[in-house]
Chains A and B, each alone.
Chain A
Amino acid sequence: MTQELIYSVTGIALFAIGLFGLIVAGHIVRKLVAINMMGIGVFMLFLATALHGPDTVDPIPHALVLTGIVVAVAGTCLCLWLAISISKLDNEKRKNPQQ
């Protein structure tokens, strides 16, 4: 019971720290790390919910977290790819400022 509570509280705390990081960070990679931290906080809360006792574990949150991880990977990669595309454009512009 207490173990489950510790995990739940840690999950919420991770979410809050990630949210603060998202607001404070200026750099896009830091922002993405912060968002992923928020995601991990939510996943921890799900996993804590799954734990009902030493023998009863609810498999649904485990499956949800697996789905959530794949979605988080997809979102993070798309953001990184956009950031890299922007910096590539900026580099081209810096090389040929007349364009």
Chain B
Amino acid sequence: MFRNLELVEADSNRSGLSVGALWFCALLIAVTCGALIAAIVLSPKAPPEIAALIASALPQSGVENPVTAVLLNFRSYDTLLEIAVLLIVAVAMVPGRTRVSGSRAATVNTDHNKDPMLADLVRWLVPIAVLVSGSLLWSGAYAPGGAFQAGAVLASACIAVVLAQNHSLQWQSHRARGSLVIGLMVFVAVAIACVAITGTLLQYPGAHAASYILFIEIALTLSIAATLLLLFTCLSTTSATVERSMDGAKTGHPA
């Protein structure tokens, strides 16, 4: 698939390095690595004060799972910025709005001869995956799970649909673009609303913290799923075009 990527001069340290230079690098890295390991083994570890602190603050966080509490309450600012990172990659890769398009995010392919096995599998798999995603989202409050896991499962369900070639995605549509940004939008909106309600950015009003977190997580799940789906389709379709154009190049100019 990436046969012709050897043309990509990924950086100036291309392995045109001589054997001597390689040994030098290996030795340098090995020594640094040894020093780091020695520093870790020899120095004491901080006592788990913060774990106790979290245990005592957990009842006010609105959720029972401490990891979810850290992600969406104690250190929610990090998560907010991390969704912004996802939006950066989405903006960089989303296909341009070349033509005016409708509002539908996906259209049904009619002229395609479908693989019956694949279509049937998707018919069974996708509802289950959506259910699993919902359950992961819900259980994030008290067990491992949450928006990221739910979003990944939801994205894989969508990828299965795309692979069955029954539908094609319209990234130019308003809905598809909206789904990419809705997580950040809701998160920022809630953050600002918190300023109006409690006076502090991202500080949820005590009694309702759980519903605020759930609300944010639903939006995050949608955005994460949409972004992962976008990443998959962009990378797979462009590499398919590369392959096709390579085949064209081969048949056009036989060596």
| Chain A residues within CB distance 8 Å of chain B | 4-5, 8-9, 12-13, 15-16, 19-20, 23-29, 31, 49, 52-53, 56-60, 62-64, 66-67, 69-71, 73-74, 77-78, 80-81, 83-88, 90-92, 94-95
Are B75 and A63 neighbours in the complex by a CB distance under 8 Å? yes
Are B66 and A90 neighbours in the complex by a CB distance under 8 Å? no
Given contacts A12-B36, A24-B15, A94-B249, contact A63 B7 (CB under 8 A): no
Q: Which residues on the A side are within 8 Å of B26 (C-beta)? A: 20
| Chain B residues within CB distance 8 Å of chain A | 2, 4-8, 10-11, 13-17, 22, 25-26, 29-30, 32-33, 36-37, 40-41, 45, 47-48, 50-51, 54, 66-67, 69-71, 74-75, 78-79, 82, 85-86, 88-89, 92-93, 148, 224, 228, 231, 234-235, 238-239, 241-242, 245-246, 248-249, 252
Q: Give min CB distance, B214 to chain A, whole Å.
A: 18
Which secondary structure characterizes the binding site on chain B? Answer: helix
For the complex, give the distance between the alpha carbons of A35 and B29 in Å. 15
Q: Give min CB distance, B123 to chain A, whole Å.
A: 29
* Interface Cβ pair total, 8 Å cutoff: 152
Given contacts A23-B17, A67-B79, A95-B252, contact A88 B238 (CB under 8 A): yes
Given contacts A63-B70, A70-B85, A87-B4, contact A27 B10 (CB under 8 A): yes
Are B238 and A84 neighbours in the complex by a CB distance under 8 Å? yes
Closest A residue, CB atoms, query B243 = A91
Partner of B14, one of A15, A26, A56, A88: A26
Q: Give min CB distance, A92 to chain B, whole Å.
A: 7
Closest A residue, CB atoms, query B45 = A49
